[in-house]
A and B are shown apart, each in its own frame.
Chain A
């Protein structure tokens, strides 16, 4: 064997030298510019026709607090309905049965194809189509009494959400490897049990980020229910400014509440994601 040759000359030892930090002048400059612009905007608002005292007076007013509670109740219930419908419709869409497939596709087509506000108005005005509703002989009632703003908002928002959520759930189920279906079948599971025990838990990991997105959208979409008299936060804020004409102040109040709620939701989503990440992080249990 040949002895290892001596190292060639002309390549100095760099191990003792430090790497200099770049000054990044452009970053400093752009940051300063942005701060300047923000300060100018803040100054404009401070000097504008806004009575900030009204904002602080109404931010925790009883009517506003009731409104934000109603907003949250509606968002949670409508989202729950939407997720339930979404899972059912996604399973139907992926079923081998052509009748179920077509019904599911039709549902998605109809409720994604029309504006949400139109659907809310249709539900709320159902009494114009069916003055009385009920089950023949057993029970009936006047539609105006049944179709309250609450129920109309819940059905409108939830059923519309279901159409979108079904596509999110379908994407999640398609993301699970076909081998998982086969392994579930091989230990004697039927289609529905395999979906419930094996496929959906794995799909959840994939669908939580888009579902978080959808839920944040839902929190804000509840404001549309103000047009059918559901007393959520925007509706209540409007009622106040109809009386005192402080329009911008009360819109700011409502806006701050939406921001607060959405800010709280983001860390909650991370907790959920961790729960469904079981088995995917090599060293975490």
Chain B
């Protein structure tokens, strides 16, 4: 029997007084494409950041590929992992940010090879070949030597996706990848993500693009006030929501 790639159990997270996550539990299965929707402040981005350990959870546990994240159990107590071990665990996930966060002093190609070269210590020739293949895959072969400032927002985000893929992650996390884009550039990024979904990548996507969710997601999760309100097949959650809060959110968005 297959095991979930990500198992989230009773995870809570607060920022000062504000409770961003209230005992959230969720499984993500290998190959699954999950879209997380909800109003801003509902906790969907925080959940994603906890999986990547950019945010440290206050309670509960997250297992990725069977391994507990950020903590280890010893003598009946939990201890925090070292920065080095957290770095190793992060390599299993790739993160795509709302604001792209490309390194502005490096070209597209240099952005992509930075991780494999510096963190994984791989050989330049091998890494460069893979990076060029990734650039081709996101449709930017001609832009290998361009700096981020010379690229449009959509092109930057596609480079950012290639940069995350270069680390060969098991899970791709997308944090509102099209929210900072001009409307005419959204399509090119979604097309790359669709192609990625088709290739069998496990993906968690925080998004406001309900069209994308309807077309690509295996499962849609609606969150509100730090908790999961409703989840299920995209056609069910988006087409025939059971919960009042989901209905209210969808009618406000559409």
Contact = CB atoms under 8 A, between A and B. Distances in A.
B83 A283 contact: no
A188 B91 contact: yes
Nearest to A196: B118
B167 A182 contact: no
B104 interface: yes
Contact of A188 (B88, B99, B105): B88
Contacts of B94: 186
A193 B119 contact: yes
Contacts of B83: 190-191
A198 B163 CA distance: 14
Given A188-B91, A188-B115, A188-B119, A183 B150 contact: no
Nearest to A277: B105
Given A188-B88, A188-B91, A280-B149, A183 B118 contact: no
B147 A186 contact: no
B52 interface: yes
A161 interface: no
A177 B100 CA distance: 12
Interface string B99-141: 1011111110000001100111000000000000000000000
Nearest to A182: B54
B149 A187 contact: no
B148 interface: yes
Contacts of B167: 187-188
B115 A187 contact: yes
A187 B95 CA distance: 8
Nearest to B99: A179
A190 B88 CA distance: 10
Q: By CB atoms of chain A within 10 A, which of B52, B88, B118, B163 has the most?
A: B118
Contacts of B102: 183
Contacts of A283: 150
A205 B103 CA distance: 14
Contact of B104 (A187, A188, A202): A202
Given A279-B147, A279-B149, A189 B54 contact: no
Contact of A189 (B104, B106, B119, B163): B119
B54 A186 contact: yes
Nearest to A186: B95
B180 to A, nearest CB: 11
B164 A197 contact: no
B97 interface: yes
Given A182-B97, A186-B164, A190-B87, A197 B149 contact: no
A179 B97 contact: yes
Interface in B76-98: 83-84, 87-88, 90-91, 93-95, 97
A209 interface: no
Contacts of A201: 105
A188 B87 contact: yes
Given A180-B103, A190-B84, A279-B149, A185 B118 contact: no
Contacts of B84: 190
A180 B101 contact: yes
B166 to A, nearest CB: 8
B148 A279 contact: yes
A135 B29 CA distance: 62
B97 A279 contact: no
Interface string A192-213: 0100011001100100000000
A183 B103 contact: yes
B91 A183 contact: no
A55 to B, nearest CB: 47
Contacts of A205: 105
A187 B163 contact: yes
The 3 closest A-B pairs by CB, nearest first: A187-B115, A279-B147, A183-B101
9 contacts: A182-B101, A183-B97, A185-B87, A187-B91, A189-B119, A193-B119, A276-B105, A282-B149, A283-B150
